[in-house]
Amino acid sequence: MLSQKIVGVVIASTLAWVPLALPNRAAAQEEHQKIFLSPGQVVLEVTGEVNNLAATPAEPLGSSQQFGYLPYLRGVESVFTDTNPANQNETTAQFTFFTEVTTTRVTTHGPFSIVIREGTTTLYRNTSPANFSTPDSFRSGTPIMISVIRQQVIVDTVEKTFTVENMNTITSTTPFDLDGQRLKIGKSGDGFRTTLQGVLFARSGGTPPPTGHFAGYAVGVVNGETR
């Protein structure tokens, strides 16, 4: 009889504990909703400008700053604070980016100048209106994703246009709040490839900065990991 009572107490205690444990575990799993960088799918679009900087002793081939905003992020409806398309630009963008890269090689091939650069890209949850006349305004928000980048730029020195292929690999990603949701973009080790089209400011007779304007999109790439 005593052993039956003891077993009954143990079972009752266990049953009382289980309902408390499961919701806590579920809450931890649903802490944030992940935005997957699915291979082959467009995950984001960018609009931006570039300032190419002169050579220095530390960077003998020069460097570059590339900045702008996201007019599209997969899985997020309100990438702008204004619902009127006419007002959807850098001043109302909820996501901005800032890339800092160092030039590692420049090759001349006929009318083309082929530039290789490496550095980092930071994506921000923007908190105040950005302005292309103030590049630092695109990194005034809260960092939500950092990635290393390898960049190839092909400049048509005759037409004053350029194309860009970026390969980014995420090194850190941080959850952020938007429209009552807690979101997170990808995970460390995920990759995405960005294709850009641009025109040099000199084509229209302007004097840098900026060096040029560009726009494009990024797709997820296979990273060899199981999600």
Q: Where are the domains of the chain?
A: 1-30, 32-221
Give whole-number Cα distances, 112 to 16, 41, 88, 109, in Å: 72, 30, 34, 5
pLDDT, tens digit, 9 for 90 and up, residues 20-35? 344 454 444 456 788 8
In angstroms, rounded to a whole number, what is the distance separating the alpha carbons of residues 135 and 211? Answer: 12
CA-based end-to-end distance of the chain: 52
pTM of the full structure: 0.83
- What local confidence, expressed as pLDDT, does residue 204 receive? 61
Cα separation, 159 vs 199, in Å, equals: 9
Please answer whether residues 153 and 117 qualify as being in contact, where contact means their C-beta atoms are separated by less than 8 angstroms.
yes
SS3 185: strand
For residue 20, give the H/E element and its range. helix 2-29
SS3 track for 63-100? EEEEEEEEEEECCECCCECCCCHHHCCCCCECEEEEEE
Low-confidence ranges of the chain (pLDDT < 50): 2-23, 25-29, 224-227
**Tens of pLDDT, residues 120-153:** 999 999 989 999 999 999 999 999 999 999 999 9
CA dihedral 41, 178, 176, 31 (to 10 degrees): -90
pLDDT for position 8: 45
